[in-house]
């Protein structure tokens, strides 16, 4: 049997938006459950995100370290960011984030995996790209502020990141999913079997 997630939408009898923030909001839906009862579901409405697992010729992954206030930790992550506008091409967003956070460009792009960050309470969809053939970006570095002003960059061998994930030392969802997906691809059908960078993304449709 082949497992595959499928689109489905249950009846909503009422909806409200009790909170609207700068980039996300909270929605409350009354949803008809199997059997006819109605349950209230609160969830974060999110524009969607992209993340980049940038792999250099030495097999090292470009990682960043920054403070994340909600969890009160400095986390090792891979470059990532929001889709700025509805329908934005995710590859363009990923290229922008790699430039802004690491001042790096890549010539070879593939889709590594697509995930929902926390589907029980948020509709955020994330596309994780694999970027290879890296080089320094042209021009001046992007000026960062707030948490990113204190950001650190490093390049770490993939095997060391896999070890850190399995040891419970690395926790960021995009890094964990990206690292383990890359390891699985390398030891499975190979990186050539990954989807092209412009592969359809039903969770966040875009124009090529």
Tell which residue, 184, 206, 208, 174, has the closest CA to residue 83: 206
DSSP letter string over 61-119? Answer: EEEEEEEEGGGTEEEEE--EEE-SSTT--HHHHHHHHHHHHH-EEEEEEEEEEEEES-T
Do 60 and 155 form a contact (C-beta atoms < 8 A)? yes
The SS3 assignment for 192 reads: helix
Strand order of the sheet with strand 49-54?
Answer: 80-82, 49-54, 125-136, 104-116, 195-196
CA dihedral 197, 202, 206, 208 (to 10 degrees): 40
148 belongs to the catalytic site: yes
Q: Which of 108, 91, 82 is nearest to 206 (CA)?
A: 91
Catalytic residue among 97, 107, 148, 160: 148
How far is the C-alpha of 102 from the C-alpha of 99, rounded, in Å?
Answer: 6
Q: Cite the active site residues.
A: 148
């Amino acid at each position: 049997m082949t497992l595959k997630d499928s689109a489905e939408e249950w009846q909503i009898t009422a909806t409200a938006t009790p909170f609207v923030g700068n980039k996300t909001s909270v929605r409350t839906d009354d949803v008809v459950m199997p059997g006819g009862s109605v349950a209230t579901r609160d969830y974060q409405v999110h524009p969607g995100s992209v993340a980049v697992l940038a792999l250099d010729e030495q097999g090292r992954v470009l990682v960043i370290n920054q403070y994340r206030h909600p969890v009160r930790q400095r986390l090792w992550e891979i470059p990532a960011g929001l889709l700025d506008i509805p329908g934005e091409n995710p590859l363009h967003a990923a290229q922008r984030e790699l430039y802004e956070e690491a001042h790096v460009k890549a010539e070879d792009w593939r889709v590594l995996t697509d995930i929902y960050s926390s589907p029980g309470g948020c509709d955020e969809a994330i596309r994780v790209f694999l970027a290879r053939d890296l080089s320094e970006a042209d021009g001046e570095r992007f000026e960062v502020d707030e948490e990113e002003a204190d950001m650190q960059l490093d390049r770490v061998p993939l095997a060391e990141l896999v070890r850190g994930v399995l040891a419970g030392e690395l926790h960021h969802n995009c890094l964990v999913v990206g690292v383990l997906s890359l390891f699985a691809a390398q030891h499975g059908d190979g990186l050539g079997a990954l989807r092209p960078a412009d592969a359809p993304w039903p969770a966040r449709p875009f124009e090529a």
